[in-house]
Amino acid sequence: MTSMDEESSRANSFEALYVTHRGEAVRLAWLLTHDPALAEDIAQDAFVALYRAITRVADPAAYLRRSVINGVYERSRRREREQRRNGLVVAGQQVVHDGPTAGILDAVAALPIDQRTCIVLRYWADLRDHEIADALGIRPGTARSHLSRATSRLRKELQ
């Protein structure tokens, strides 16, 4: 196969992945950030990373999910550094207990990023403990701990 054929094959397989998984990537990023523009940016960055690594990746969907999560974490860390640097204290918003979700999305958004990610991967992506652990690069017991703490906190918050 010539270099031109390899590049064409790579582009075609990537295009199919993009069409199939773009919506999922954006939704995952939005569920973790609650910011539509930021979710689009993070998903796009994840696809750029996937394109660069497509020939080395065994499971492109898992790679993409991990890239989205890493992007959310990086943006979260960057925002926290900026807030500390500026000396800003950001007060949490009150959880709204009305509307179609009864405040669940607001309560999930208020969770620490590790707990929020575990909750989203469990209940939105329907992943098991070991799959969540793989996606986050942590042990399954740590994933279960994050889920337990998040669930407990959500129960208290929504009562």
* Radius of gyration of the CA atoms of the chain, in A: 18
How sure is the predictor about 85, in pLDDT bands with cuts at 50, 70 and 90?
Answer: low
Q: Are residues 113 and 75 in the same domain?
A: no
pLDDT number for residue 12: 78
Please give the structure tokens belonging to residue 123: 């209940």
Torsion of CA 82, 83, 85, 88, to 10 degrees: 150
CATH, residue 40? 1.10.1740
Q: Give the pLDDT mean for 29-38.
A: 94
Tell me which of 90, 111, 137 is where a domain ends. 90
Tell me which of 90, 119, 145 is where a domain ends. 90
Q: Are residues 118 and 66 in the same domain?
A: no
Q: Are residues 78 and 108 in the same domain?
A: no
Q: Are residues 8 and 70 in the same domain?
A: yes
Q: Are residues 79 and 97 in the same domain?
A: no
Q: Are residues 80 and 2 in the same domain?
A: yes
Q: What percent of the chain has pLDDT over 70?
A: 85
Q: Are residues 79 and 107 in the same domain?
A: no
CATH, residue 154? 1.10.10.10
Q: Are residues 76 and 99 in the same domain?
A: no
Give the C-alpha separation, 81 to 30, whole Å. Answer: 21
pLDDT: is 137 or 7 the higher one?
Answer: 137
Enclosing domain of residue 12: 1-90
pLDDT number for residue 69: 96
pLDDT number for residue 92: 45
pLDDT number for residue 102: 59
Q: Could you tell me what percentage of the chain is helix, strand and coil, using 3-state DSSP and rounding each to the nearest 5?
A: 75, 0, 25
Across the chain, what does the average pLDDT equal?
85
- Amino acid letter, 50: L
- 46 pLDDT exceeds 60? yes
Per the structure, how many domains does the chain have? 2
Q: Give the pLDDT mean for 92-108.
A: 62
pLDDT digits (tens, 9 = 90+) for 146-159: 999 999 999 998 88
Q: Are residues 42 and 81 in the same domain?
A: yes
- 4 pLDDT exceeds 60? yes
Give the C-alpha separation, 31 to 101, whole Å. Answer: 13
Q: Are residues 4 and 20 in the same domain?
A: yes
First-to-final CA distance of the chain: 62
Q: Residue 99: what are its φ and ψ, rounded to 5°?
A: 90, 180
* Per-position b or e across 112-126, b if 16+ CB within 10 A of its CB: ebbbbbbbbbbeeee
Q: Are residues 24 and 56 in the same domain?
A: yes
